[in-house]
Amino acid sequence: AQSVTQPDIHITVSEGASLELRCNYSYGATPYLFWYVQSPGQGLQLLLKYFSGDTLVQGIKGFEAEFKRSQSSFNLRKPSVHWSDAAEYFCAVGAGTASKLTFGTGTRLQVTL
């Protein structure tokens, strides 16, 4: 069965500091991996996705993620966090971009000024 683990429930960083959110997955086949952000009152927004090719993926809002097959990880990073990045972040895995997804439990990011 497929699963996604986000070990960090809550992370607090200072504005301008770097950020890394961890994601580990379990999937039987070649996975499509996603990072979504959820802000209060808004739907999930896709930050980036990975299926194949370059293992370092660039997304929107200055985010990037690195796929490491040997570690079954797909960690999300941002060099310099902005206060507006405070939100809930979800890692997800699926069979395709338009397929059903299995989500991790999410990481709530708090940004201090």
Partner 1 sequence: GAVVSQHPSWVICKSGTSVKIECRSLDFQATTMFWYRQFPKQSLMLMATSNEGSKATYEQGVEKDKFLINHASLTLSTLTVTSAHPEDSSFYICSAARTSGDEEQYFGPGTRLTVT
**Encoded amino acid at 46, one letter:** L
Closest approach, Cβ 8 to partner 1, in A, equals: 13
Tell me: does residue 59 bind partner 1 (CB under 8 A).
no
x/- string (CB under 8 A) for partner 1, residues 74-93?
Answer: ----------------x---
Instruction: Please tell me what DSSP assigns to residue 33.
Output: E
Cα angle value 80/84/86 (rounded, 5°): 85
Q: Does 42 bind partner 1 (CB under 8 A)?
A: yes
C-beta of residue 14 within 8 angstroms of C-beta of residue 76: no
Any idea what DSSP says for residue 39? -
* Residue entry with tokens 């980036």: 48
Which residue in the set 41, 53, 70, 113 belongs to the binding site for partner 1 (CB under 8 A)? 41
Shorter beta-carbon distance to partner 1: residue 17 or 60: 60
Give the Cα separation of 6 and 19 in Å (integer).
14
| Residues 1-40 as x/- pattern, contact with partner 1 by CB under 8 A | -----------------------------------x----
